[in-house]
Amino acid sequence: MGKLSSLIRAAAGKKRFNSAIILAAGSGKRFSDDTAKQFVEVAGESVLVRSAKAFENSELISEIIVVTRQADVEGCRNILKENGITKTTRVVAGGDTRQKSAKNGFDAVNPACEFVAIHDAARCLVTPEMIEAAMESAYVHGACACATKATDTIKKTDGANSITETVNRDNAWLVQTPQIFMADMYRAAAYMGEKDNVEATDDCALCERLGFKVKLVDVGKTNMKITYPEDIIIAEAILKYREGNK
Ligand code: CTP
Ligand code: MG
| 3-state SS assignment for residue 105 | helix
From the alpha carbon of 24, which atom of ligand 1 is closest?
A: 11
By the 8 A CB rule, do 133 and 217 touch?
Answer: yes
What's the CA-to-centroid distance between 221 and ligand 2, angstroms? 20
Confidence at 14, pLDDT banded by 50, 70, 90: confident
From the alpha carbon of 47, which atom of ligand 1 is closest?
A: 15
- Of 9-23, 123-137, 156-170, the range with the lowest mean pLDDT is 9-23
Taking only the tens place, the pLDDT of each residue in 175-228 is 999 999 999 999 999 999 999 999 998 999 999 999 999 999 999 999 999 999
pLDDT > 70 fraction of the chain, expressed in percent and rounded:
95
Q: Which of 22, 26, 34 is nearest to 229 (CA)?
A: 34
Handedness of CA 73, 83, 28, 216 (dihedral sign): positive
Q: How large is the average pLDDT for residues 31-55?
A: 97
- Ligand 1 pocket (Cβ < 6 Å) reads 23-31, 38, 67, 94-98, 101, 120-122, 225, 227
* Per-residue pLDDT at 232 exceeds 50: yes
Ligand nearest, relative to CA of residue 93: 1
Residue 4's pLDDT is 59
| 3-state SS assignment for residue 175 | strand
